[in-house]
Amino acid sequence: NAGVTQTPKFRILKIGQSMTLQCAQDMNHNYMYWYRQDPGMGLKLIYYSVGAGITDKGEVPNGYNVSRSTTEDFPLRLELAAPSQTSVYFCASRKVQGGLNTEAFFGQGTRLTVV
């Protein structure tokens, strides 16, 4: 199994451009998450999904959109890139059945720079 795969690994965007960060998992996990990591700030939750067709806002959703049309994929869309969105983005997934004691599995991250 590949686990959680994020593409691209690196990207430089100009202010105002748009892009989609891709995330795919092959573990049949129902829950998926997007986090951003900024120095000294830890991992902040942007959006999450508990299943196909269901998405919810996290702590820092402004400037982002998500969709979950399949169980496997959870793309993150930036419509009008701003320098404040320069960050490392992590996608994660977990299998939740009955209890919530399961851990999340992470991708390797996408480093995005907006100039």
Partner 1 sequence: KDQVFQPSTVASSEGAVVEIFCNHSVSNAYNFFWYLHFPGCAPRLLVKGSKPSQQGRYNMTYERFSSSLLILQVREADAAVYYCACGVADKLIFGTGTRLQVFP
* Chain residues that interact with partner 1, rule: CB under 8 A: 3-4, 31, 33, 35, 40-45, 48, 50, 56, 58, 90, 92, 96, 100-101, 103-109
According to the 3-state scheme, what is the secondary structure of the chain? CCCEEEECCEEEECCCCCEEEEEEECCCCCEEEEEEEECCCEEEEEEEEEECCEEEECCCCCCEEECCCCCCECCEEECCCCHHHCEEEEEEEECCECECCCCCEECCCEEEEEC
Least distance CB 108 / partner 1 (angstroms): 5
Least distance CB 80 / partner 1 (angstroms): 26
Least distance CB 12 / partner 1 (angstroms): 17
Pick between residue 100 and residue 115 the one whose CB is nearest to partner 1: 100
Pick between residue 14 and residue 101 the one whose CB is nearest to partner 1: 101
